[in-house]
Amino acid sequence: MLYGFRRAPTAIAGLAAISMIIGLSIIAPILWGEAANRLDIFHAYQGASRDHLLGTDELGRDVLLRILVATRISIALSIAATAFAAFIGIPLGAVTATFPPRGRAAVLRVIDTMLAMPGILIAIFITAIVGPSAIGASVSVGIASSFAFARVTSSLALSIGGREYIAAARVVGVSGSRLLLRHVLPNIAEPLVLITAVNISNSIVDVSSLSFLGLGVQPPGFDWGRLLVQGVQAIYINPLAAIGPAAAISATALAFGFSGEALARAMNPLVRDGADKGRATKQIRPRVAPASGKEALAGANPDQAGSLALAVRDLTVTFSGPKGPIQVVAGVSFDLREGETLGIVGESGSGKTMTVLAIARLVPYPGIVGGSIKLNGDDLDKLPEARLTRVLGTGMAVVFQDPMSSLNPALKLGTQLTEAAEIHRHLGHQQANETAVSRLYEVGMPKPQRQMGRHSHELSGGMRQRVMIAMGLMNEPSLLIADEPTTALDVTIQSQIIALLDEINAVHRTAIILISHNLALVGQLCRRVLVMYAGRVVEDLTLEQLLTGPLHPYTRALLGAVPGVGLARPVRLADIPGQPPDLSSPPAGCAYHPRCPLAIGRCHHERPPLLQRPSGQRVACWVANQDMIAPERARN
Binding residues (CB under 6 A) for ligand SF4: these are 552-553, 590, 592-593, 596, 598-599, 603, 608, 621-623
The residue count of the chain comes to 636
Question: What span, in angstroms and rounded, lies between the C-alpha atoms of 437 and 456?
Answer: 16
Question: What span, in angstroms and rounded, lies between the C-alpha atoms of 620 and 533?
Answer: 10
| Closest CB to ligand SF4 among residues 270, 611 | 611
Q: How far is the CB of 315 from ligand SF4 (least distance, A)?
A: 21
Q: Which helix (H) or strand (E) element contains residue 206?
A: helix 189-212
Closest CA to 139 of 207, 40, 191: 207
Q: How far is the CB of 350 from ligand SF4 (least distance, A)?
A: 14
Q: How far is the CB of 335 from ligand SF4 (least distance, A)?
A: 24
- Judged on CB neighbours under 10 Å (0-12, 13-18, 19+), 377 is exposed
Q: How far is the CB of 606 from ligand SF4 (least distance, A)?
A: 9
- 374 phi/psi in degrees, rounded to 5: -115, 125
Q: How far is the CB of 587 from ligand SF4 (least distance, A)?
A: 9
| Closest CB to ligand SF4 among residues 206, 539 | 539
Sign of the dihedral through C-alpha 90, 93, 97, 100: positive
Which residues, in sequence order, are bridge partners of residue 611? 619
Question: What span, in angstroms and rounded, lies between the C-alpha atoms of 477 and 446?
Answer: 24
Q: In this structure, what is the dihedral angle of CA atoms 591, 595, 598, 604, given to the nearest 10 degrees?
A: 40
| Closest CB to ligand SF4 among residues 170, 552 | 552
∠ CA 479-482-487, nearest 5°, is: 170
| Closest CB to ligand SF4 among residues 347, 379 | 347
What are the start-end ranges of the E strands in 182-307?
Answer: none
Question: What span, in angstroms and rounded, lies between the C-alpha atoms of 553 and 480?
Answer: 30
| Closest CB to ligand SF4 among residues 200, 603 | 603
| Closest CB to ligand SF4 among residues 145, 350 | 350
Q: How far is the CB of 189 from ligand SF4 (least distance, A)?
A: 53
Q: How far is the CB of 619 from ligand SF4 (least distance, A)?
A: 9
| Closest CB to ligand SF4 among residues 337, 552 | 552
Is the backbone peptide bond immediately before 485 cis, with ω within 30 degrees of 0? no
Which residues, in sequence order, are bridge partners of residue 324? 321
Q: Which helix (H) or strand (E) element contains residue 191?
A: helix 189-212
- DSSP letter at 602? G
Q: How far is the CB of 589 from ligand SF4 (least distance, A)?
A: 7
| Closest CB to ligand SF4 among residues 407, 591 | 591
Is the backbone peptide bond immediately before 29 cis, with ω within 30 degrees of 0? no
| Closest CB to ligand SF4 among residues 400, 592 | 592
Q: How far is the CB of 575 from ligand SF4 (least distance, A)?
A: 17
